Amino acid sequence: MEHYSNYGEFSDPRLVAIYNTVNPIDGYKKFYVDIASKLSASTIVDMGCGSGLLTCELAKAGHQLIGIDPSSAMLGLARKSPCGEQVQWIEGGVEKLEAFQADLAIMTGHVAQFFLDDAGWQAALSSIHKALRPGGHLVFESRNPDVELFADWPTETSHQKLQDPVAGPIEWWQELAVKDARVKYEIHYLFKRSGEELVSACELRFRTQEEICQSLSSSGFSVQCTFGDWDSSPVGAYSPEMIFVAKRR
Ligand SMILES: C[S@@+](CC[C@H](N)C(=O)[O-])C[C@H]1O[C@@H](n2cnc3c(N)ncnc32)[C@H](O)[C@@H]1O
């Protein structure tokens, strides 16, 4: 289990090519576009921007965008998108933040959960703090660890069937491997035309609301509000998300 994860969904060109079909941003697009507007953010850093779908929506809304991601394959997809030239795309991790001063930093698509150990998470928050202007905001989400894991994801017995514009019909589903504060799981992808099945082995960290609030506070942020879902409802026992709006002190 030491080297369990390969995160093939972000690195295998065959999986990156279907990433936008499998991972639409409809659920959270409006929330982030609205909050960026409400905060009057001029410059936004999108940490872990991936294929850049949301980065582009924010650029289209008139904000100046910097998209940072360690995956060259995902950035390749982002650069080729229709707004590719409106965004500054940077390959790398949080160390790349030191070149910037932004009004808003975001981590969407549960990027925060990819920081598996506490030292890495704390270092990421410190780097984001330095990259924000005084009074700047950090907005991100993490899944609620108290609700059933991936309750709405397809399973081995109920594949999700999709039509990719290039790859054609595909099916995907997840299989849980280890359920802990660090959750290990596999995402299976079946390409119906060729019958080829690819697997992305992933690991995510599930932190509690209290742990995240504490880490934000010790990194120089004040938590302004925490929502439980994309409709901005408060966090409750059954909320799927914990969406943090934090301000740089
Ligand atoms: C689920 S995707 C989300 C992409 C995008 N933010 C979205 O909403 O569609 C997670 C992204 O986080 C990136 N990532 C993984 N570990 C990271 C890290 N330590 N620092 C920054 N980004 C990371 C991956 O390369 C991947 O593109």
Any idea where the domains of the chain sit in the sequence? Answer: 13-144+208-248
Question: Could you tell me the pTM of the whole model?
Answer: 0.97
pLDDT of residue 1: 46
pLDDT of residue 177: 87
Q: What is the pLDDT of residues 70-79, one digit of tens each?
A: 999 999 999 9
Q: How far apart are CA 69 and CA 113, in angstroms?
A: 14
Q: Burial level of 110, CB count in 10 A (0-12/13-18/19+)?
A: middle
* Distance of alpha carbon 166 from the chain centroid: 24
**Coil vs helix vs strand at 19:** helix
Question: What spacing in Å lies between the alpha carbon of 116 and ligand 1's midpoint?
Answer: 13
What is the 93 CA–ligand 1 centroid distance (Å)?
9
CB-ligand 1 contact for 89 (6 Å cutoff):
no
Residues 6+ apart with CB under 8 A from 15: 8, 9, 189, 198, 200
Ligand 1 pocket, residue 49 CB under 6 Å: yes
- Contacting residues for 128 by C-beta, under 8 A, at least 6 apart: 45, 47, 94, 97, 105, 138, 219
**Ordered strands of the 196-205 beta sheet:** 160-164, 168-178, 182-191, 196-205
Is 8's C-beta closer than 6 angstroms to any atom of ligand 1?
no
Nearest protein CA to atom 10 of ligand 1, as residue: 111
Could you tell me the mean pLDDT of each successive run of 10 residues in the chain, 249 residues long? 81 98 98 98 98 98 98 98 96 95 98 97 98 98 95 95 98 92 96 98 97 98 98 96 98
**Cα 111 to ligand 1 centroid, rounded to whole Å:** 5
The CATH superfamily label for domain 13-144+208-248 reads Vaccinia Virus protein VP39 (3.40.50.150)
Would you state the pLDDT for residue 3?
66
- The finding on whether 228 has its CB within 6 A of some atom of ligand 1 is no
